[in-house]
C-alpha cells in the first residue's frame, strides 16, 4: 500500500485504511519531495521551515533529518525543536515582536539570530541576548497576497537602516535584512519588487560602514487551493528572486522561510458525513470535521481558502451535484464551503477527502463544542 502513497494520497489507497474519521493523513514522501524542490529551485539558500505552519513532531523530525533549518515564533515552538534535538545554529527567531522571557529562552539554548522592526525590540534583544545577531524586517508591497502582513509587521527602509546602525552601537551584530511578501502570495513579481527595496537599504548601510551577511526572503510560497487563481510555481518565484538579486550591490547569504509551501500539499483530512439536510435551495452535508477542529482558514478567510474536496468513492449513475459542507459544531461560521461538487447520492456515513490541508490546520485547532482535534497518521 505504501508505494501507492509515495506518488499521491490517492482515494483508492486512503479507502483501505482502517482509521476512524476524522483524521489527518500526512505523506512523508510528499514532505521530502517538496523540501527537495525548494533546494533545487533555491540552490545555496538556507531553508528554514516556519514551524507555525504545522508543528507536528514527526514533520519536524523528517525535515530536521534532511538538514533543514527552522524559523520559530515563540518559546513554545522552541520547545518542539529542542525535543527534536535541532541544534541552535539551525534556528532563527523570526517574529519581530517578542516577549523578553522568550528571547531569554532562545538565547539560553544558544540561538543568536533575532528579527526586529522597532527600536523597542532592539532594546529588548540587547538586554536579553547581548551580542546577538539581528536582522531588520522591511515593510514591502504585499498587495497580491491573500493574507497580508504589512499592517502588522515591518518598518520603512530608512528606519531599517537606522535600526541596524543602532544595533551596532548597542553591542549587537547587524546581521541582515528580511521581508515577507504575504502568505499565499499570487504575484510572482512581489519578490523582485521587494528586493529593489532591499537594495536601497543595503546601499544606505554600506555608506554607514555596515555590510549585511544575510538576506531573509521570508515565506509566502503559495499552495494551489480550489479557490486560488493561478498561483506562481516555485520555478517562477525563483526566477523572480534571481531577477531581483541583480539589483543588489552585493550578494549576501539567502534565507527562505517556507511553511505552507512545504507542508500544505503533503496532508489531507478524511471526514465522514454525519448529516444530510435540505435547506432552501441548498443541500447541506454536515461532517465530523469542520473549521474549528480541522480547516480553520476556510472560516477566517471565507472564500479565500477553499480546499479541493472529493468523495472517497466514485459517483454512481446518479451523477454529481453541488453541496454546502458544514462542520459538526453549533456555530454559524462553521461552514467549509457552499459549492463542493460531489456524487449526488452522498449521505450519512460516506467519507470525503479534503486535500492540501497540511498548513495552518492542525496548528490552530481548538476544542470548540468539545470536539477534539482529529488524529494524525503518517504514511
CA-CA distances (angstroms) from residue 70 to 48, 54, 59, 313?
A: 4, 12, 12, 39
Question: What domains sit in the chain, N to C, each tagged with a CATH number?
Answer: 55-258 (3.20.20.10), 266-378 (2.40.37.10)
Is the full-model pTM beyond 0.75?
A: yes
β-pair type (69-72, 46-50): parallel
Residues 327-333 have a mean pLDDT of 93
Predicted pLDDT at 245: 94
Residue 2 has pLDDT above 90, yes or no: no
Give the span between the Cα atoms of 296 and 366, in whole angstroms: 9
- Banded pLDDT at 210 (limits 50, 70, 90): very high
Among 87-91, 186-190, 314-318, the range of highest mean pLDDT: 87-91
pLDDT tens digits along 92-101: 999 999 999 9
- Banded pLDDT at 34 (limits 50, 70, 90): very high
Q: Give the side-chain half-sphere CA count within 13 A for 329.
A: 22
Give the residue with greater pLDDT, 3 vs 272. Answer: 272
Predicted pLDDT at 144: 53
Predicted pLDDT at 138: 93
Residue 3 has pLDDT above 90, yes or no: no
Residue 108 has pLDDT above 60, yes or no: yes
Give the span between the Cα atoms of 277 and 180, in whole angstroms: 43
**Summary mean pLDDT of the chain:** 89
Amino acid at each position: 500500500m505504501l508505494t501507492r502513497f509515495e506518488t499521491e494520497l490517492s482515494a483508492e489507497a486512503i479507502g483501505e485504511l482502517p482509521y476512524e474519521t476524522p483524521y489527518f493523513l500526512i505523506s512523508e514522501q510528499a514532505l521530502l519531495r517538496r523540501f527537495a524542490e525548494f533546494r533545487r529551485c533555491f540552490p545555496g539558500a538556507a531553508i528554514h521551515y516556519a514551524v507555525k505552519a504545522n508543528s507536528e513532531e514527526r514533520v519536524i523530525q523528517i525535515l530536521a533529518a534532511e538538514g533543514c533549518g527552522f524559523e520559530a515564533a515563540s518559546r513554545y515552538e522552541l520547545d518542539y525543536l529542542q525535543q527534536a534535538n535541532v541544534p541552535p545554529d539551525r534556528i532563527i527567531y523570526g517574529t519581530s515582536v517578542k516577549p523578553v522571557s522568550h528571547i531569554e529562552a532562545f538565547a539560553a539554548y544558544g540561538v543568536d539570530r533575532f528579527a526586529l522592526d522597532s527600536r523597542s525590540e532592539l532594546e529588548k534583544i540587547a538586554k536579553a541576548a547581548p551580542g546577538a545577531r539581528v536582522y531588520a524586517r522591511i515593510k514591502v508591497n504585499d498587495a497580491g497576497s491573500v493574507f497580508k502582513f504589512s499592517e502588522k509587521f515591518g518598518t520603512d527602509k530608512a528606519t531599517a537602516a537606522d535600526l541596524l546602525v543602532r544595533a551596532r552601537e548597542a553591542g549587537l551584530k547587524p546581521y541582515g535584512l528580511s521581508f515577507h511578501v504575504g502568505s499565499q502570495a499570487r504575484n510572482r513579481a512581489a519578490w523582485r519588487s521587494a528586493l529593489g527595496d532591499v537594495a536601497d537599504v543595503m546601499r544606505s548601510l554600506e555608506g554607514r560602514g555596515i555590510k549585511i551577511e544575510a538576506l531573509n526572503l521570508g515565506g509566502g510560497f503559495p499552495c494551489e487551493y480550489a479557490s486560488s487563481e493561478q498561483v506562481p510555481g516555485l520555478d517562477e518565484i525563483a526566477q523572480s528572486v534571481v531577477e531581483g538579486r541583480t539589483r543588489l550591490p552585493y550578494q549576501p547569504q539567502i534565507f527562505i522561510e517556507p511553511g505552507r509551501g512545504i507542508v500544505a500539499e503533503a496532508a489531507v483530512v478524511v471526514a465522514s458525513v454525519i448529516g444530510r439536510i435540505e435547506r432552501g435551495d441548498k443541500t447541506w452535508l454536515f461532517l465530523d470535521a469542520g473549521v474549528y477542529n480541522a480547516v480553520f482558514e476556510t472560516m477566517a478567510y471565507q472564500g479565500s481558502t477553499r480546499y479541493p474536496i472529493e468523495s472517497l468513492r466514485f459517483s454512481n449513475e446518479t451523477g454529481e451535484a453541488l453541496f454546502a459542507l458544514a462542520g459538526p459544531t453549533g456555530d454559524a461560521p462553521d461552514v467549509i464551503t457552499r459549492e463542493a461538487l460531489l456524487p449526488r447520492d452522498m449521505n450519512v456515513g460516506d467519507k470525503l477527502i479534503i486535500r492540501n490541508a497540511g498548513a495552518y490546520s492542525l496548528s490552530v485547532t481548538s476544542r470548540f463544542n468539545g470536539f477534539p482535534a482529529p488524529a494524525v497518521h503518517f504514511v
